[in-house]
Amino acid sequence: MTPALQVRGLRYRYPDGTEALRGVDLTLAAGECVAILGANGSGKTTFVLHLNGLLTGEGSIEVGGLALTRRNLAEVRAKVGMIFQDSDDQLFLPTVLEDAAFGPLNLGAAAPEAEARARAALRQVGMEGAAGKPPYHLSAGEKRRVALAGVLAMSPEVLVLDEPTIHLDPPGQRELVQLLKRLPQAKLIVTHDAGFARALASRAVFFERGRILAEGPVDEIVQRFSWFELGG
Ligand SMILES: Nc1ncnc2c1ncn2[C@@H]1O[C@H](COP(=O)(O)OP(=O)(O)O)[C@@H](O)[C@H]1O
Ligand SMILES: [Mg+2]
């Protein structure tokens, strides 16, 4: 079966010379959920920013068998739904509905089709009742769910979430776990929260200085690297 995501030999150096990725290989099977753990500065965010072409390093990336190149960037972006740690950066339109419809419109859907997709996605995350609200009126957990609706409206094959529990209270975190569990997509979740990783992922990879130092069952990795500020 074609993997949902296949990354080979990914290397990246920031313009200031920082070697942020030093050869990362990672395969995500269809429907699989993998946690990315690792200390601050180990390259986790730099890695995920490559998955929809926001950064371009050396190496290869395939999403659902489609190689990420400059030419099919838009197609790959539609397949990879990215949720950033601060939803305020992701929600910028006057209403929740418009925000959720932005992706499909951007992909060329006609307005009624985009609205139908946005409403369906908002229903999936339990936010249909907030369709007419301005995003800034929502709680952090609600914002996270609306941001998720915005990517679900594009029917992605892979979901990538960078520190999704940041700013969420415990009930908000539990809701997010339940919601993510129901979604069939393959998922890559960057987190410092060992409990969150355990609740969702079957496998974890541990980043250190731009490389994957270890991978295995979540519990094993969490235990082995507990001295690295995990569980916070
Ligand atoms: N825009 C940037 N310019 C230069 N160096 C950066 C930039 N962003 C991140 N870095 C560096 O790249 C390394 C990896 O950072 P990052 O991917 O943000 O790690 P993580 O998400 O694991 O905390 C760190 O050394 C960080 O300081
Ligand atoms: Mg980061």
DSSP string, the chain: ---SEEEEEEEEE-TTS-EEEEEEEEEE-TT-EEEEEE-TTSSHHHHHHHTTTSS--EEEEEETTEE--STTHHHHHHHEEEE-S-GGGT--SSSHHHHHHHHHHHTT--HHHHHHHHHHHHHHTT-GGGTTS-GGGS-HHHHHHHHHHHHHTT--SEEEEESTTTT--HHHHHHHHHHHHH--SEEEEE-S-HHHHHHH-SEEEEEETTEEEEEE-HHHHHHHTTTTTTT-
Given this model, what pLDDT does residue 185 score?
A: 96
Does the C-beta of 40 come closer than 6 Å to ligand 1? Answer: yes
CA distances, 29 to each of 6, 26, 164 (Å): 9, 10, 21
Q: What does the block give as tokens for 80?
A: 């990879």
Nearest to 126 by CA among 185, 176, 189, 88: 176
Instruction: Say whether pLDDT at 3 is over 90.
Output: yes
**Predicted local distance difference test score (pLDDT) of residue 85:** 78
Q: Which domains does the chain have, with CATH numbers?
A: 5-87+157-224 (3.40.50.300)
Dihedral sign (CA 8, 9, 14, 18): positive
For residue 47, give the ligand 1 atom closest to its CA. Answer: 17
Average pLDDT, integer, range 207-232: 84
Q: Ligand 2 mean position to 167 CA, how many Å?
A: 14
pLDDT tens for 139-190 read: 988 999 999 999 999 999 999 999 999 888 899 899 999 999 999 999 999 9
d(CA 5, CA 2): 8
Query: Ligand 1 pocket, 57 CB below 6 A?
Result: no
For residue 226, name the pLDDT band (cuts at 50, 70, 90): confident
Ligand 1 contacts CB of residue 155 (under 6 A) = no
Which residue puts its alpha carbon closest to atom 2 of ligand 1?
14
228: pLDDT strictly greater than 70 = no
Share of the chain above pLDDT 70, in %: 97
2 pocket-lining for ligand 1 (C-beta < 6 Å): no
Q: What is the whole-number distance in angstroms between the Cα of residue 116 and the centre of ligand 1? A: 38
Read off the tokens for 123: 């229903």
Number of the ligand closest to the Cα of 211? 1
Other beta carbons less than 10 A from residue 167's beta carbon = 16
How confident is the model at residue 229, as a pLDDT? 56
**Distance (Å) from CA 41 to ligand 1 centroid:** 5
**Which tens digit of pLDDT belongs to each residue from 20-72?**
999 999 999 999 999 999 999 999 999 999 999 999 999 999 999 999 999 99
pTM, two decimals, is 0.93
Instruction: Please indicate whether residue 41, judged by its CB atom, sits closer than 6 Å to ligand 1.
Output: yes
pLDDT at 230 over 60: no
**If pLDDT is split at 50, 70 and 90, which confidence band does 89 have?**
confident
pLDDT in tens, 98-135: 999 999 998 899 999 999 999 999 999 999 999 999 99
How far from each other are the two terminal CA atoms of the chain, in whole angstroms?
A: 36
Q: Which ligand is nearest to the CA of 36?
A: 1
CA of 46 to the centre of ligand 2 (A): 7
Query: Can you give the pLDDT at residue 127?
Result: 95
Give the distance (Å) from ligand 2 centre to CA of residue 44: 5
Arithmetic mean of pLDDT over the chain: 93
- Which percentage of the chain shows pLDDT scores above 90? 79
Q: Work out the average pLDDT over 191-204.
A: 94
